[in-house]
Structure 1
Amino acid sequence: MAKAYWIARVDVHNMDGYRAYVAANGAVFNKYGAKFLVRGAPFENPEGSSRSRNVVLEFKDYATALACYNSPEYQHLITVRAPHSECDLVIVEGYDGPQP
């Protein structure tokens, strides 16, 4: 079964307010077995648009990734995060087929 990923691009406008989201999201992500693969690391943007912060989380499968996002706990966290940031989020199923 293919893993799934949240790919988030975030601009934080108020870091003090955003810290409450960061402090609380670990418990929700832990509940759904999420693993941070990228969390605000330095990056280059050679094509297209970008935001100031990139985050990639890995989940055991697509259903779990969607369940985490749709959970009451994470929906509450969106209300904590939203006043302090703008976020583009994609939830995508990983590729589990042949490689070149």
Structure 2
Amino acid sequence: MPRAYWIAHVTVTDPAAYVGYQAVAPKAFEQHGAKFLARGGTAETMEGKSWQRHVVIQFDSLQQARDCYNSPEYKEARAQRAGACEASITIVEGC
């Protein structure tokens, strides 16, 4: 079964409010076996919209990635970040 990945692009617009997301989200990731492959760090946008942060998270399966995103813990995290950032999150199955 192929692994799956969250690919997230984020620009924080309210750092004080975004702290709430950062406090809650790790619980969801831990419960669903997430492994961070890239989080922040130096990035260079070659095409498309420029974002502040880029995150790649590995899961053991597409279902596990979906379950994490739809979990009560991550729903709470999303509520915490509402209005604190612009984000684009894609879940993609690996090769």
Range into which the TM-score falls when normalised by the shorter chain: over 0.9
In 2: Cα distance, 1:85 partner to 1:46 partner: 22
- Tell me what 2:70 maps to: 70
Query: What aligned pairs does 1:77-88 form with structure 2 within 5 A after superposition?
Result: 77-88=77-88
- Tell me what 1:5 maps to: 5
C-alpha distance after superposition, 1:31-69 (max 9, x if no partner): 000011111111011122221111111001100000110
In 1: Cα distance, 2:59 partner to 2:49 partner: 26
| Count of residue pairs brought into register by the alignment | 95
Q: Which moved further from structure 2: 33-42 or 19-28? A: 19-28
Q: Which moved further from structure 2: 55-64 or 39-48? A: 39-48
In 2: Cα distance, 1:90 partner to 1:76 partner: 19
User: TM-score under structure 2 normalisation?
Assistant: 0.94
Q: Give the partner amino acid of 1:78.
A: R
User: TM-score under structure 1 normalisation?
Assistant: 0.90
Of all paired residues, the percent bearing the same amino acid is 44
- Tell me what 1:20 maps to: 20
Maintained 8 Å contact 2:27/2:73: no
Q: Which moved further from structure 2: 46-55 or 9-18? A: 46-55
Greater C-alpha Rg: 1
Secondary structure, counterpart of 1:63 in structure 2: helix
Following TM superposition, the consecutive aligned residue runs of length 4 or more in structure 1 with deviations greater than 3 angstroms are: none
Maintained 8 Å contact 2:24/2:73: no
Structure 1 runs not aligned, ≥5 long = 96-100
Alpha-carbon RMSD across the aligned residues, in angstroms, is 0.9
Secondary structure, counterpart of 1:8 in structure 2: strand
